[in-house]
Chain A
């Protein structure tokens, strides 16, 4: 049936609350209001304010509170209202959530889900559109998951709540209200598995979260140029599925990694490096990255300049050494005339 990612996430939370009394859902405005994106709509009315409740407006407090709840045997699912508003919680996430199992040799675990609406494309004003996945992916002990489809939104969130480890669950805001087909409840591929969304022979586009629809659109447009592109949806950044990604690139011999976040030191850089290390002899071209610009997230009227769109992807595809010529962008500058 046709539904939206927002509704699928809401259904996943409701089903988890119904199935496991240890699950608690809390954060800012998640109670009566149902969250600013309505992801928790109706949960307090159905499960009561002991299971789904509002907290003081303090993100470090919310995550630290979840750590204590997890230590008492509960399964907290917390909502950070927006990507950039999760930064106050970073110390709790990096120093405690991510490390508690390791510090205690497994005596304590922290099965927390931290939901983070992230990324742009919704015309949000300052501090409402950051792509913050690299911070979490760079922190050992966290799993970092980001759905791109409606049924993945449901399934990955259910799996995140059941997972014995902490999961930063990154929800692409611009996909919340895009509709898709899904029969809920559903279970898709588990954590650690990337999925080929579109098979193709000529090059692999690797994307996750909000960039997956861009990659699919670019692959469709590329047919007119005569390229048959494969699209791989990473789904779980941590744990990362090297196997599926490298199998695809070995087949196609060319690869473009797409991310909405600024590019420098980003997740795409890690993926490109891994592909290069593992597929060197199968590659006909350097692995290219398409990303946002290395700037603070721009004001709404300029965000489309920042966001990687179909054209930027196709430009990269065009530079994949189809005629085995050096990329003019990387040639040394000509000597200045004497």
Chain B
């Protein structure tokens, strides 16, 4: 059986180092792109099984834009997307203490940084399982 392929699009090198090593220890193959443009290009050419996506990158909340673009692309929309974001920390001054609004995020699951390693692996496994089931239908 081939290794399950994951892509991370996140601009924070230290954070990426952390989750990449957690995922690799769990025997996933992990690629990384550090900006939305490289990320989308990789996604289009790479046959990934799951995407881990940051929000605040480049000009601003670009992760939302990427998620929306994936959702509109018939070739990509079946890839499960897990958003992992520190947005509430990064622009906490704007909406102090307020939650992320699920209705405006075309995504499968959202986790907020910092993420517990065990929880992360559970979520990734569950999303992959779900996608597999959907494909089998």
Say if A and B assemble together. no
